[in-house]
Amino acid sequence: MGRTPRRTQRKRSKLAGRAIAASAALILGGGGMVAVNVYANAEESTDPPVSAQSGEQGSGPGFSTISCPDVGNQLPEVPDGAREDVDRRLADLDSQITAAYENFADAQDAEQAQAVLGPLEEERRPVIQEIGSAIDQAGGQPPDGLDSMAACTMRAGDGAEDGAWGQQPPEEGQDGGAEQPPEEGGDGGDGGQQQPGDGDGGQQNGNGPVADDFVDINSIEPNVNRPDKQEGASRGTFATKCGTNENGKFNPDNVIVAPGVSNGAHHMHDYVGNQANDAFASDDDLANGDTSCRNQGDKSTYYWPVLRLQNGQNEADADADGGGKDQNVGEIQTPTSVTLKFVGSPVGDVVEMPRFLRIITGDAKALTNGDANANASWSCTGFEDRQLKDKYPICPDGSKVVRTFNFQSCWDGQNTDSANHRTHVAFADQESGACPQGFQAIPQLVQRIVYDVPPGPGFAVDSFPEQLHKPVTDHGDFINVFDEQLMQRVTDCINEGQRCT
pLDDT along the chain (501 residues), means of 10: 37 31 36 37 36 32 83 92 96 97 91 94 98 96 93 75 37 32 33 35 60 96 91 96 96 97 97 98 98 98 96 83 94 97 98 98 96 96 97 96 98 97 96 96 98 92 96 98 98 98 94
CB of 51 within 8 A of CB of 228? Answer: no
Separation CA 245–CA 179 (nearest Å): 41
Domain containing 358 equals 195-223+233-500
The residue ranges of DSSP E strands in 333-454, in sequence order, are 337-343, 358-362, 377-380, 392-394, 401-406, 410-411, 425-426, 440-441, 444-451
**What are phi and psi for residue 146, nearest 5 degrees?**
-60, -40
Q: Which residues, in sequence order, are bridge partners of residue 63? A: 156
Separation CA 290–CA 297 (nearest Å): 10
Q: Is residue 48 part of a domain?
A: no
What total of structural domains would you count in the chain? 1
R_g of the chain computed on alpha carbons? 22
Between the CA atoms of 292, 297, 299 and 303, what dihedral angle is there, to the nearest 10 degrees?
Answer: -70
The DSSP code for 424 is T
Q: Is residue 58 part of a domain?
A: no
Q: Is residue 495 part of a domain?
A: yes
pTM for the model stands at 0.82
The DSSP code for 325 is G
Q: Which residues, in sequence order, are bridge partners of residue 308? A: 332, 460
Q: Is residue 424 part of a domain?
A: yes
Q: Give residues with Cβ within 8 angstroms of 58, minimum separation 6.
A: 50, 156
Amino acid letter for position 227: P
Whether the link from the prior residue into 143 is cis, omega within 30° of 0, is no
